[in-house]
Structure 1
């Protein structure tokens, strides 16, 4: 445990869950298939697991990897870790054993909690199997009281690693609590309903909304992470789901099932919360009109928390933006010297807010990615803010193309190509050029009949010459990570290999 990560404030999410257990008792907190765990049962089981962790030598400040397929078990283990004032490090359960070993070394993990031991001696594994659970169930379920004057972070959230090795973003218990409370500033965030969660808890948005909904007395219904859009819609409508989180790729798939009559596909869903990556303006408008009037799109990051929200009437009037900057967020757009820029100019986005992380693990950061500098959270995005307070993210700093000295933002080109009839998906990236430093390529998913000539013609009308793609590559689908983000590095590598 790094000394700089310890804190004197002893507020802990374990206390919050004890309070939730007392308040909501027998109400279902977690549901997965036929399995249901009440709020009181969540706290009791987590206390037993915490004592079993203690028996296996885990203690306050230890960093523990969570690599469990079952999301109910992940929540139980996470709360148990917090009861010990240890630090939870959620890891995608789809990672292979060799990657788990690398992460264990890079993030100084005391142990990895797995479904079965895959370590082969490369790291310490605690297998959360039926036998382990039976042993844990013999312990007392009384509250586990923390000792000592120091407290430790709640989480180390791992970045997706789309631009290199994952980085660790350190978040305190207070930050996670404030992020959960902060959802109340965004829109009519539902209370005491049902949240359908179809994403692994290694994904920070999935985890944050699980905590946020549990803090509001809601039941979190976990859906297997491999799903079709029609499955989610059917479950929302048949099970009285009030809250659904989805990445833009999933929302786009849902829109493919709409008949365009204007009648929402999920009329009783109170909120469809969309985030995790950018979204085309016409898809936002269609989602609001054709999926649910409770559609919301946010811009957020693991290092900053939520920065802006597009919801309600703003979807109709400002769908080309990423929404209004939240009233509790101080957001600036700055130049390369970190000097604030006027409204409407593009620069690096930085934030100070209730939801920003405490720091980067071991101060590791990338120049063009998430980082903390001089008390500001830099998200690694290029953006602009209008005079009336709407944020527009134009792309990642690392995605910007510099062609012959001119800055080219992929999002601008993607918006033009998305408007071509028959185009379903687009990603623009640079690739090495001897003459210009970088050239521009567009990877396009389209219906049959769309030609390179159609795309080039639209670009000639809409874009300046130095922003027009020199290559168009047609694909069946774009490569994406589990969070729905396009893997531009893979696309670029396919051109440069």
Structure 2
């Protein structure tokens, strides 16, 4: 009997010794005055490859001049500016470990991350929350004489990112320097990326989707990146893509939805769109194709391994599927740890030898066994086509960010008058989900008070958009909240 295991590996081994930032900037000297980064839609800001290289190596020197040692951790409290990727590469170049946390985090959230990671330094810009932590704080990126990259084992720790876990507390994900080498599998397996491309990414500098797809990958091959300035609305992105000759456009589905509310301008240079972060509705894909005569290629991935299943210009995904494992990937669909037959639902799993797979979570290495098992339920055809069926847990998706309901619920613990609560994603109209908080209380609580409370404790993308009073919340025999029942029985209000 055939089983749902698809072996597209192995990929070429990562060189050693290796430094992720040195690899990303390996074309910089030869490219010189070619534009590496252009901020569009506001005050124009351009970095050539030469300027990017100089800035990264000088900031790397400045960071080490602070007395930091190899392996020290640096927490980012930086805004949506080019300083973010510069600092990210500079840390890795210098042998330090950046923690590129979202600028939207509240003080309690940032403090929790600092307490988990123990940074030796915090980089901070005005308007971004600071954690309650004793580490020294720098408000400008330090500069000194350039230093050479710190080379070493490609399996050593390079950076830490945070993702919502099922425990309700954000989990730190430890990635190795080799993670960037693994991203080469996306160049043809998702993007069709070339050095001549002009990649426009609609995300903020401090989103990991932007860091990887919008910045690190184009720079690794010598392409040009276009990033919208802070505050540019989604409705303006089509005109910017046209004006700046974008050849690839990348965004989360919600951005495509906003863009398509109005007719798009001609995009004669555009070759394709990219989508990740949440499932892309077929209606959006079709509407984009009708208006631009280009396809959107979707990718499925996770913070622990980035994107590893996708459609591409060379091999578009079959209708209704997320695509196939990229060349170099080893993927399985498991039930109780064993592969299931083709077209049978099971949990998506990644082979532990995948070079893009994390080292482990903070304080925990990868579990034993050949496979890292995700919480995504999928089916796999005999040809390797993956159909995504949803999360195996209660994780929510807000604009491309995974959010734990336990984290939202914990923020409302002890709220005056509230006796219980449950957070879940609900559909308010076709293909549009938002976070809702169902709660019990003697009477409905003032919504303004609830929203003010959420703003103080939760990043904006984690804040509920609906507050719904109920007499009781559904629970199973073991007392566990039945969030699925809340979600399935929800009826969107009129209007």
SS of aligned partner of 1:384: strand
Deviations 1:373-417, CA, capped at 9 Å, x for gaps:
52423332111112232111111111399xxxxxxxxxxxxxxx9
Tell me the distance in 1 between the aligned counterparts of 2:70 and 2:282: 47
Residues 24-423 of structure 1 aligned to structure 2 (within 5 Å):
24-32=31-39, 33-116=43-126, 119=130, 122-129=133-140, 133=142, 136=143, 139-141=144-146, 143-146=147-150, 152-160=156-164, 164-209=168-213, 210-258=215-263, 266-311=267-312, 318-335=318-335, 337-352=336-351, 353-363=354-364, 372-399=367-394, 423=430
- In the TM superposition, what is the alpha-carbon distance from 1:160 to its structure 2 partner? 4.3
SS of aligned partner of 2:199: strand
Mapped contact 2:199–2:246 kept (Cα < 8 A): yes
SS of aligned partner of 1:278: coil
Deviations 1:129-150, CA, capped at 9 Å, x for gaps:
3xx55xx2xx323x42537889
Tell me the distance in 1 between the aligned counterparts of 2:16 and 2:369: 22
Larger % of helix: which? Answer: 1
Q: Which residue in 1 is equivalent to 2:423?
A: none
Higher deviation after alignment, 372-381 or 271-280: 372-381
Structure 2 residue runs of 5 or longer lacking an equivalent are: 1-13, 397-426, 439-472
SS of aligned partner of 1:105: helix
SS of aligned partner of 1:215: helix
Tell me the distance in 1 between the aligned counterparts of 2:205 and 2:297: 21
Tell me the distance in 2 between the aligned counterparts of 1:296 and 1:94: 28
Structure 1 residue runs of 5 or longer lacking an equivalent are: 1-6, 365-370, 402-416, 444-468, 477-497
- In the TM superposition, what is the alpha-carbon distance from 1:151 to its structure 2 partner? 7.4
Q: Which residue in 2 is equivalent to 1:480?
A: none
Mapped contact 2:37–2:227 kept (Cα < 8 A): yes
Mapped contact 1:442–1:473 kept (Cα < 8 A): no
Tell me the distance in 2 between the aligned counterparts of 1:267 and 1:21: 28
Q: Which residue in 1 is equivalent to 2:491?
A: 472
- In the TM superposition, what is the alpha-carbon distance from 1:304 to its structure 2 partner? 2.5
Residues 17-28 of structure 1 aligned to structure 2 (within 5 Å):
17-28=24-35
- In the TM superposition, what is the alpha-carbon distance from 1:118 to its structure 2 partner? 5.8
Distance change (3 Å), C-alpha of 1:359 and 1:439: closer
Q: 1 or 2 for the larger relative contact order (CA 8 Å, sep ≥6)?
A: 2
SS of aligned partner of 2:239: helix
Mapped contact 2:199–2:248 kept (Cα < 8 A): yes
SS of aligned partner of 1:378: strand
Mapped contact 1:295–1:312 kept (Cα < 8 A): no
Mapped contact 1:86–1:152 kept (Cα < 8 A): no
Tell me the distance in 1 between the aligned counterparts of 2:390 and 2:190: 23
- In the TM superposition, what is the alpha-carbon distance from 1:234 to its structure 2 partner? 0.6
> What's the TM-score once normalised by structure 1's chain length?
0.73
Tell me the distance in 2 between the aligned counterparts of 1:168 and 1:474: 37
Mapped contact 1:284–1:297 kept (Cα < 8 A): no
Residues 411-450 of structure 1 aligned to structure 2 (within 5 Å):
423=430, 425-426=432-433, 432-433=474-475, 438=482
Tell me the distance in 2 between the aligned counterparts of 1:395 and 1:160: 16
SS of aligned partner of 2:338: coil
> What's the TM-score once normalised by structure 2's chain length?
0.73
Distance change (3 Å), C-alpha of 1:55 and 1:118: farther
Q: Would you identify which runs of 4 or more consecutive aligned residues in structure 1 move more than 6 Å?
A: 147-151, 427-431
Mapped contact 2:195–2:218 kept (Cα < 8 A): yes
Tell me the distance in 1 between the aligned counterparts of 2:84 and 2:270: 26
Mapped contact 2:474–2:485 kept (Cα < 8 A): no
Aligned length: 408
